[in-house]
Amino acid sequence: MIKKIKNYFSKGYNWYKLSLEKIIFISALYVISNYLINLPYVNIITSSLLFLPYLITWIAVFILFKPSKELILKVGITLFILDFFFLIIHISNALEILGGAGDLMLATYVVLSLKEIKD
């Protein structure tokens, strides 16, 4: 049992080591896009586009990591379940972030499914 746990964590650590540059790039992209949207006078124009940093980050994740459709669906549904949990205990900040991320993931799954149906 200990060997399985150690093997699982070592695989995760190796993936993290290989993907560290991508993760840092995506994190920096999110911080910069979030900062640019909240600049004075720019936020007047982008006040209705508050989801834009999440969208930019999701596009970067989708391009760099190329997740499978099943993984996108599982993570999207998991985020919605967490969203309902935060709704019950009234944590609105996490509710907003997880709701936006879950919407983007499920919308991506729908677009990919429509593309597959079209073919």
Q: What is the pLDDT of residue 28?
A: 93
Q: What is the pLDDT of residue 119?
A: 66
Q: What is the pLDDT of residue 104?
A: 83
d(CA 93, CA 72): 23
d(CA 84, CA 48): 24
d(CA 4, CA 92): 38
pTM of the model: 0.70
Task: Please name which of 70, 102, 71 lies closest in space to residue 86, comparing C-alpha atoms.
Answer: 102
CA 12 to chain CA mean position, Å:
18
Q: List per-residue pLDDT tens for the chain, 119 residues long.
A: 888 888 888 888 888 888 889 989 999 998 998 888 888 887 777 777 777 888 888 889 889 888 888 888 888 888 888 888 888 888 777 777 788 788 888 888 888 888 777 76
d(CA 5, CA 17): 18
Q: What is the pLDDT of residue 24?
A: 92
